[in-house]
Amino acid sequence: MLSVDYVLVGQKIKEKRLQKSLTREQLAELCDISPSYIAHIERGTKSLSLETAVKICSVLNVSLDYLLLDEIQNNDRIFNAIQTEINSLSQSQKEKFIKFARLILKNIDEL
């Protein structure tokens, strides 16, 4: 059975909050909770309810999976790296990439 690492959850919340240039007070207000509770959550000293987790995910625009499961973070890094590479392509190259990706996915069991 998986257990929740509340310290890691708190680190992820803080990281995303800072990426969005939000203070603890602003995040707390948007989630209708106290700033001190946000501080405890970010330090991992208090757990959060499902309702609070959903509010935070909504404000920070992250999935509950990302917040609660460590494995998702690794997938995010992979997807971000791929997205960075794709963003550097011309429109024509992007269209070719999509065709190629579809071809690979269609035939993935034969590879």
Token look-up 């909050």 returns 17
**Which pLDDT belongs to residue 53?**
95
**Which pLDDT belongs to residue 50?**
93
Q: Which CATH superfamily is domain 6-68 in?
A: lambda repressor-like DNA-binding domains (1.10.260.40)
List the structure tokens of 60: 């920070």
What is the full per-residue pLDDT of the chain (111 aa) written as tens digits?
A: 567 889 999 999 999 999 999 999 999 999 999 999 999 999 999 999 999 999 999 999 988 888 887 655 556 677 777 888 888 889 999 999 999 989 998 888 877
Would the pTM count as exceeding 0.75? no
Q: What ranges do the domains of the chain cover? A: 6-68, 72-110
List the structure tokens of 61: 């625009």
How big is the chain, counted in residues? 111
